[in-house]
Amino acid sequence: MDKRTVRKEVQEKRSKLNQRELHKFNKEINSHISVSRLFLEGKVIMGYLAQPDEVSVDAALQTALTMGKTVCVPQILDKDGEMQAVRLVTLKKLARDCYGIRTPAEPTEVIQPSDIDLVLVPGAAFTEHGDRLGKGKGFYDRFLPKCSKAVPMGVANEVQVVSELPTQSHDVKIRYLVTEKALRVCK
């Protein structure tokens, strides 16, 4: 099965979830993240500002900000798949980037990848073995190897967990996967 087909099938399953279910699942996922040892012990947390087809981690980011942690999110540098981490100080008054994704307003402070402890990683689909299928541009596959001490944690709804994914050598694996059911260690 090819990546495009998997993305389409998983997105169809996710689109069948109603807004009440998605809201409940987001709450459960954010709770699992916020009570995890990785989150509690991490000083620098990288999340993301979700698009409509992604699980929102805004509540976990707000918790991290309230706890005084350094919080950062991706900033797209170019359409060829390059991004950097920039500091997030508030979830209010956000700008939009060239893809329409919420982003901190300029001027932004760049956070070095080597300083990040935990990266919350969105994706189209995941396996319990740590395989991840993104949206096809390779942003996280290029960025995660620069995060020398960070633990990558995939964030998804349970309908996005599949038994296997087509992978390539450059695809970066995640070490943990959090869904509404639980936070699990990838085998």
Q: What is 102-171 written as a DSSP string?
A: EEPPSS--EE-GGG-SEEEE--SEE-TTS-EE-SSS-HHHHHGGG-SSPEEEEE--GGGB-S-----TTP
Domain spans in the chain, listed from the N-terminal domain onward: 3-185
Q: How are beta strands 70-76 and 83-87 bridged, if at all? A: antiparallel
- pLDDT per residue as tens, the chain (187 positions): 788 899 999 999 999 999 999 999 999 999 999 999 999 999 999 999 999 889 999 999 999 999 999 999 999 888 777 899 999 999 998 999 888 889 999 899 999 999 999 999 999 999 999 999 988 788 999 999 999 999 999 999 999 999 999 888 888 899 999 999 999 999 8
Which residue carries 């020398």 as its tokens? Answer: 148
The amino acid at residue 165 is L
Taking the C-alpha atoms of residue 84 and residue 116, their distance in angstroms, rounded to an integer, is: 12
Query: How far is residue 102's CA from residue 116's CA, in Å, rounded to a whole number?
Result: 21
Please name the fold of domain 3-185.
Rossmann fold (3.40.50)
